[in-house]
Structure 1
């Protein structure tokens, strides 16, 4: 599955505005109120995570049509995982920690442009439910906002949030997590009814991510945000390429 935009913003009050100097703001078009204007190139504060993390498996679902929208999502011009340098470095440490267990990471989504979030919002307002059986069988499409699965802003647009799972190395086989990625259902949350094996695998992933400074999202086993993210109040809109 492929993509849940979340309401993690409502849980992130109290952040101080990022201390960016005016020339930097002018360069990237950032507004600290949470929007980015006319930015078309990747800022130097972002990196291709696969170039930083050896053996990272990359399966960027929004670059293709195998997602809950049923089409490539706006802003995804290449199957590339972009993250802030801080998030990519922390994720590389998670990968190193897992390697002695014969495990590694597979990413499904990383930085997400604001234009992609807007695409999700438009999709949520469209009455068509062609992807419901696969992606949100237990939730009415009209309730996806109310229940925290889709929001008008996403922490992914700040560049330090990642959706991922555990895989075997070197084969890359995904571990059982009880539900697929972006399965919009209570089963994907902390209280979801899944097997003991899936619960243990979710715990292993969460513990590994927490140990390197990532905070889990309780509605989605795959979703983590770097605790000390460098742009806590800034939302980027350059395309993924």
Structure 2
């Protein structure tokens, strides 16, 4: 018969200290980084590289939680954008925020692995994934790793909730009409998130008037808080002057 071990008061106290230390480590962020939820829990989050609904088809290295982490000044500026949009019954939805440098290295390895799948082709329908770096759609060193860049879109709070992404369903590519491409539960910007195509360029001519109106609304609201849009991606914005250093700490679950 196995002898039963009854924990002493000292053992329990030590265990609690270890658990507390682990929680503190999971929440510890360097150099003025913050969880966006701590500043504005109303901003929606769908951090795509923390799941399977992205061009790689799996979580990227370092994305251990569906959490948006940014520099505090970026978070405060996003909070101001959210307040403006709320007056129109709209909300921001974060798609990517701080990106660990290891995730960018993961992207590099993926782009060079020589394999193409239908799911991946949804994001770059016009060319091979090995051309993504040459064409400027993926960078070996990303501004996201500084905490100053974000990917986001707009949700119309008056609209019914859209369908969930189904990893087993075959969707049309990211340039297709909204009803045929993968659902994003946001306004129709004319091309899906992370779409490597001219149709995703912010000033693309091949989109409808309504789609152009949504893009202009997002760009204008972000610009009023100092954000600059990347012309090849309607979803990508950065806040100049926040910082140039790239970081590589993993995105841990927020414990509060």
TM-score (norm 1): 0.79
Q: Aligned with 1:163: secondary structure?
A: strand
| Alpha-carbon distance between aligned partners in 2 of 1:139 and 1:89, rounded to the nearest angstrom | 38
Among candidates 216, 221, 230, match of residue 203 of structure 1: 216
- Decide whether the 8 Å contact of 1:213 with 1:228 is kept in 2: no
Deviation digits for residues 118-162 of structure 1 (CA, Å, limit 9, x no counterpart): 000101101111133311111222211111011111000000111
Q: Aligned with 2:94: secondary structure?
A: strand
Structure 1 residue 196, shift from structure 2 partner? 1.0
Taking structure 1 as reference, are residues 44 and 142 closer, same or farther at Cα in structure 2, changes over 3 Å only?
closer
Corresponding residue for residue 159 of structure 1:
147
Answer 1 or 2: which has greater strand percent: 1
Q: Please show how residues 176-191 of structure 1 align to structure 2 within 5 Å.
A: 176-191=188-203
Corresponding residue for residue 37 of structure 1:
none
- Decide whether the 8 Å contact of 2:56 with 2:120 is kept in 1: no
Say if 2:84 is the partner of 1:72. Answer: no
The number of residue pairs the alignment matches comes to 200
Corresponding residue for residue 137 of structure 1:
125
Taking structure 1 as reference, are residues 181 and 190 closer, same or farther at Cα in structure 2, changes over 3 Å only?
same
Corresponding residue for residue 96 of structure 2:
109
Corresponding residue for residue 250 of structure 2:
239
Unmatched segments (≥5 aa) in structure 1: 1-39
Corresponding residue for residue 125 of structure 1:
112
| Alpha-carbon distance between aligned partners in 2 of 1:83 and 1:190, rounded to the nearest angstrom | 23
TM-score (norm 2): 0.75
Corresponding residue for residue 137 of structure 2:
149
Deviation digits for residues 90-116 of structure 1 (CA, Å, limit 9, x no counterpart): 000000011111111000100000000
Q: Which runs of 4+ in 1 moved over 3 A?
A: 170-173
| Alpha-carbon distance between aligned partners in 2 of 1:178 and 1:69, rounded to the nearest angstrom | 22
CA RMSD of aligned residues (A): 1.6
Corresponding residue for residue 30 of structure 1:
none
Which one has the largest radius of gyration?
2
Say if 2:58 is the partner of 1:46. Answer: no
Corresponding residue for residue 58 of structure 1:
45
Deviation digits for residues 37-85 of structure 1 (CA, Å, limit 9, x no counterpart): xxx9521511111221241110011111111011110000110000000
| Alpha-carbon distance between aligned partners in 1 of 2:41 and 2:109, rounded to the nearest angstrom | 36
Bigger relative contact order, structure 1 or 2 (CA pairs below 8 A, ≥6 apart): 1
Unmatched segments (≥5 aa) in structure 2: 1-26, 162-184
